[in-house]
Every structure is written in C-alpha cells, then in structure tokens.
Copies of this chain bind each other. A is one copy, B any other.
Amino acid sequence: MAKPVDFYFDFSSPYGYLASTQIDALAAKHKREVAWHPFLLGAAFKVTGQKPLVEQPLWGPYHSHDFVRSARMLGVPFNPPPNFPFFALAASRAFYWLGGDERARRLAKAVFHAAFGEARDVTPVSVVAELARVQGIEGLEQGIEQADTKATLRDVTDRAVKDGIFGSPFFIVDGEPFWGHDRLAQVDRWLATGGW
C-alpha cells in the first residue's frame, strides 16, 4: 500500500481551503489516501517572520483578488468571514480529539465550508461544536479541553515546523515537499509519474 499524501493546512488559510476541496479527489485518481494535518501556521510564522498574506503590503490586495479568482476557477464558493484571518484553535483541536479519522476529516470540511463558503466565524468553540453535532458528534466542548488533545496539536505543529513546513497548504508526497495550492498540478504529476 503506497503511503498517503500528507496535507498540512491551517483552517484560517484560504489557499488551504481551496486545496481541501481538491486534494482527496486528486489523490484518489492515483489510488492514494490523504492524511490531513491541521496545524497552527502562526508557529511557522514565528520562524519565517511572515504574517498572514492579507496583512502584508502589496501582497494583501493581490491575494484578496487571487483568492476569489482561484475559487471561481475551481467553482468553489468563496465568502471569507469578517474576522479573517483568524486563530483556528478550537477546530484544530477538535480534529485531533476525533483522532484525525474520517469523522475528523468530515468535520474539517464542514469547518472550512462554514468559514470560507459561508463567512461564518468558526473561532468560538460553540460554533465548531454545533458543526460537529450536525454530524452526530457530541461532547466536543469537553473533548477539546483534554490535555492529550491539546498536546497532539502542539506536537503536530512543532514537528511540522521542524520538518520545514511553513505554509498552508503544504503537501508531502513520498518525501517530496510541495507548498501552495498552485503546486497541485505538480503533486498530480508526481503521483502520476513517481517523480521526475
């Protein structure tokens, strides 16, 4: 069984959102699974000295335009929430509280869609808990307060930055790093050819 494609992202990342709508189908074409890994991009920013794109001179207006244009090209709704960029602690913890399994991924997709498809503020625990309840998941409020849940998110984040993962989305394909949703064509080709 070939290794899964690793998909790192921050829930506050528009390009992470766009990639999240594509990566499972892309990998499935090549009979690959995808391992989703939400992490806290702010930890990488501390090392790179970067900030959210929209808070940077010149980059901000360009990317605000590009988010919309890229989403439109993909036929994906794009309505960012008023509090964007935001700190997605509750959603990230919830993912690991659920063990990162299929339920976790379904919740992750619901969070991304609520945030960037429906302009909802997904930072309150109550909002993430409500999205979970729709999927039959109870007890999120308490679950994400568990010490091991918190530790898992911290560990994933620390290890990601240590491994040189500094952006969202970021993919690892058989050891090969690819940064950005605009690298999906290369990811596709790498999976198809085994590399070049």
Contact = CB atoms under 8 A, between A and B. Distances in A.
A58 B185 contact: no
A72 B186 CA distance: 12
A166 B58 contact: yes
Nearest to A61: B164
A124 interface: no
Interface string A146-183: 00000000000000010010100000000011011011
14 contacts: A44-B58, A47-B57, A49-B56, A58-B166, A62-B164, A62-B179, A66-B179, A69-B176, A69-B186, A70-B186, A73-B186, A180-B182, A182-B182, A182-B185
A interface, by DSSP: helix, strand, loop or mixed? helix
B57 A49 contact: yes
Interface string A64-83: 01100110110000000000
Nearest to A75: B196
Interface of A: 44, 47-49, 56-59, 61-62, 65-66, 69-70, 72-73, 161, 164, 166, 176-177, 179-180, 182-183, 185-186, 189, 196
B48 A57 contact: yes
Nearest to A164: B58
A185 B189 CA distance: 14
Contacts of A62: 164, 166, 177, 179
